[in-house]
Amino acid sequence: MNDLLPAYERPVLVRHARGAMNKFSRAASMQPATELDGVPYDRLLEAYGSPLFAFSERTLVQTYRQLEDAFATRWPRVRIAWSYKTNYLDGICRLLHQQGAWAEVVSGFEYDKAVRNGVPESRIHFNGPAKSEADLDKAFRGDAIVHLDHFDELALAERVARRLGVRPGVALRLNLATDGVPAWTRFGFNLESGEALSAVRRLIAGDVLQLVGLHCHIGTFIPEVGPYQQAARKLALFANLLRADHGITVDFLDLGGGFASHNTLKAQYLPGTEASPTFARYAEAIVDGLEALDVDPLERPTLVLETGRALVDDAGHLVTTVVANKRLPDGRRALVLDAGVNSLFTAFWYKHDVVPTAPVHGIPEPTILYGPLCMNIDCMRDTLQFPPMSPGEHLVFHHVGAYNVTQWMQFITYRPAVCLVGQDGQHALLRRRETLDDVAGCEELPAWIG
Amino acid sequence: MDDRQQLRDLALNDKGFVFDPLTGATFSTNPTGLQILRFLQEGADRSAILAGLQARFDVRGDDLTRDLDEFVSTLRRQGLVGQDFGL
Ligand SMILES: Cc1ncc(COP(=O)(O)O)c(C=O)c1O
C-alpha cells in the first residue's frame, strides 16, 4: 500500500458509440445514494445483512398525504382503502391505517391480516373472484363490504346471508371499456353488455343483499389520466340510472387502483419520474368524470380509492452487494449481485432505477446486472451505463416497495430481511431474514421414508 | 498491420481520450488503462507492465494479471490490436 500513489482501478476502455447514451439511458449523471433519510445504507447492511429491503416511513407517510390531499381538496368524501396485496407487511399496513386508510383485501388470508392489524371489519373492502363460502360467512358476520365479482358469487352470497339472517351491504365490481387501456373483462360484471344491469336486477329480486357501492379497477400502472375520467363518468352515469330506475342510491363509488408509481416500464422511453402523472392530475380527471352524477353536491357518494403501487413503491429500496464482475463475450460487463428476481419480482416489468451506495469513480460502461440464481431468467436490470464496481460494494434499487415483499418467492435462497427507517432516524426490522427452519418447517416426511 | 505499430499510432491524451487513426474510432480509458496503453506503446512486455503498474498505483488486493488479460482482450475486441495479439 502506498497512499501517495493514485488508487489502482481496474483498467477499462469504452468505445464512444453514437446513440449509446440513449440506448442504455442515463449515462454520465449517475448520482450515488449513500443513505436513506439520514441513515447510511452501510449502517443498515451492518445491522441487518445483505440483501436488504429498506423502507422510508417518511416517504410512505408523505405519499399518503399527497394522495389524500389531491382528492380530498376536490371531492367532499374520500376514502383510501389500502390494497393489501401490494404490500401486506404488518408494519407498512399499520402505518397506513394510522394515517386513516381502510383495508382492501382479496382473500381470506388478507382479511385475517387486516383484522390482526386492528382494522374494524366494517372498514374492509373485500374484493376478488374466488371468495369461499367461509370467506363470505366471515365477511357478513363482520359487516365487511363484499364486492361481488360474478353471478355464482352473488348466488352464494345470498345463500350465506339468508342462513345468517342478515341483509348485508354489498358492492358490484364492474368492468368497462376505456380508451387506451385493454378492459380487464375477467373481473366483475360487464357494463356495456348490460351484464351489470342484470346483476342489479338479480340482486333486487333476491331481496337479501343491499347494493351500497359500485366498483371498478381498470388496470394497473396506467400512466394516463384519460381512462380514469372515462371510468368515473361511466360509474356516475350507471349510479344515475340506478337512482332513476330502481331508487337505489349508492354510498360509494370505488375507482380501484392503478395509478403509476415513479418506476419505468420496460417498454417506456421517458423515465417514470417524468412520465407518471401526479396525484393531482389523476384527481382532476376522476372528479371531472364524477361531475356527471346528478345528485345534490352534499349527497355525493364517497369516492373510494384502492391505490396500491403509487402509494408504496417509492418508499421501498433494495440494497444489494456485488459478488463478482464478469466480461461477457460481446464485451459487456456483467455484475453478479446477491439479490435476484426471486426477491425483486418487479425486475420482470421495470427498468429499475439502480445506483451505487458510494461515490462513483471511473468510466461508466454498458453493464448488465444479474442476480445470484443459477437460472437464466435471473436478470435484475437490462444493460445500462454503470460505473466500475468491485465485489463487496453495494447498489440500491429504488421504487421497489410495491408487490415485491408480497410476490417474492422462496426459491434457491432465503428471502431477505426488510427494515424500516423511521422519521427521526431510528430503524428496525419489519421482517427478519428467513431461516432454514422457516422454510423446511412446513415440510413433512412420510413415515416410510423415515 | 503490426500490432505494436497500431498501438504506437494511437493518439492518447492525459485525460484518457483515445483515438485510433486507422479506423477513426474514439474511446475513453481510465488512468490504469491509459498507463497500460503507454507501456504497450513503449514496447513493454507482460512482466514489465505488471511491475510498472505496481510501481505507479496504490494496489491493494487487486488481481493485476487478470485485469491485464481482460484489458488486452478488450483491445482485441475493439480492433486496437489483431486477434492473435497476446502478451
Ligand atoms: C381490486 C384491486 N384494487 C386495487 C389494486 C391495486 O392496484 P395498484 O397497485 O395498481 O394501484 C389491485 C391490484 O391489482 C386490485 O386488483
Using the predicted structure, report yes or no on whether residue A384 has a pLDDT greater than 50. yes
Cα of A83 from ligand 1 centre, angstroms:
6
Best of B30, B50, B87 to disrupt the A interface (most A CBs within 10 Å) is B30
pLDDT in tens, A23-78: 554 444 688 999 999 999 999 999 999 999 999 999 999 999 999 999 999 898 99
Question: Could you tell me if the CB of A316 is within 6 A of ligand 1?
Answer: no
DSSP symbol at A350? B
Looking at residue A448, its pLDDT comes to 95
Ordered by where they begin, the domains of chain A are 23-54+314-436 (2.40.37.10), 57-313 (3.20.20.10)
Q: Which domain holds residue B60?
A: 3-77
Gap between the Cα atoms of A87 and A85, Å rounded:
5
What DSSP string describes A35-60? EETTEEHHHHHHHH-SSEEEEEHHHH
| Amino acid at site B87 | L
Q: Do A6 and B33 touch (CB under 8 A)?
A: no
Q: Answer whether residue B18 is part of any domain.
A: yes
Bridge partners of A119, per DSSP, are: none
Question: Could you tell me if the CB of A127 is within 6 A of ligand 1?
Answer: yes
Cβ burial, residue A75 (10 Å; 0-12/13-18/19+): middle
Count of domains in chain B?
A: 1
Contact with chain A for residue B60, Cβ under 8 A:
yes
Q: Answer whether residue B28 is part of any domain.
A: yes
Q: Answer whether residue B68 is part of any domain.
A: yes
pLDDT in tens, A153-181: 999 999 999 999 999 999 999 999 999 88
Looking at residue A302, its pLDDT comes to 97
Q: How far is CA B50 from CA A72, B16, B18, B36, in A?
A: 67, 19, 21, 9
**Which of A86-90, A248-252, A292-296 is least confident?**
A292-296
Reported ipTM: the value is 0.96
Q: Answer whether residue B67 is part of any domain.
A: yes
pLDDT in tens, A300-358: 999 999 999 999 999 999 999 999 999 999 889 999 999 999 999 999 999 999 999 99
Looking at residue A43, its pLDDT comes to 98
Query: b/e map of B62-87 (b: 16 or more CB within 10 Å)?
Result: bebeebbebbbbbbbbbebbeeebeb
pLDDT in tens, A242-286: 999 999 999 999 999 999 999 999 989 899 999 999 999 999 999
The average confidence (pLDDT) of chain B is 92
Q: Answer whether residue B64 is part of any domain.
A: yes
User: Is the CB of residue A362 less than 8 Å from the CB of residue A378?
Assistant: no
Question: Could you tell me if the CB of A320 is within 6 A of ligand 1?
Answer: no
Helix (H) or strand (E) segment spanning residue A275 = helix A272-275
Bridge partners of A124, per DSSP, are: A103
pLDDT in tens, A187-242: 999 999 999 999 999 999 999 999 999 999 999 999 999 999 999 999 999 999 99
Q: Answer whether residue B38 is part of any domain.
A: yes
In chain B, whose CA is at the least distance from the CA of A390?
B62
Using the predicted structure, report yes or no on whether residue B31 has a pLDDT greater than 70. yes
Contact with chain B for residue A14, Cβ under 8 A:
yes
| Amino acid at site A257 | G
Question: Could you tell me if the CB of A383 is within 6 A of ligand 1?
Answer: no
pLDDT in tens, A391-411: 999 999 999 999 999 999 999
Q: Answer whether residue B33 is part of any domain.
A: yes
Q: Answer whether residue B56 is part of any domain.
A: yes
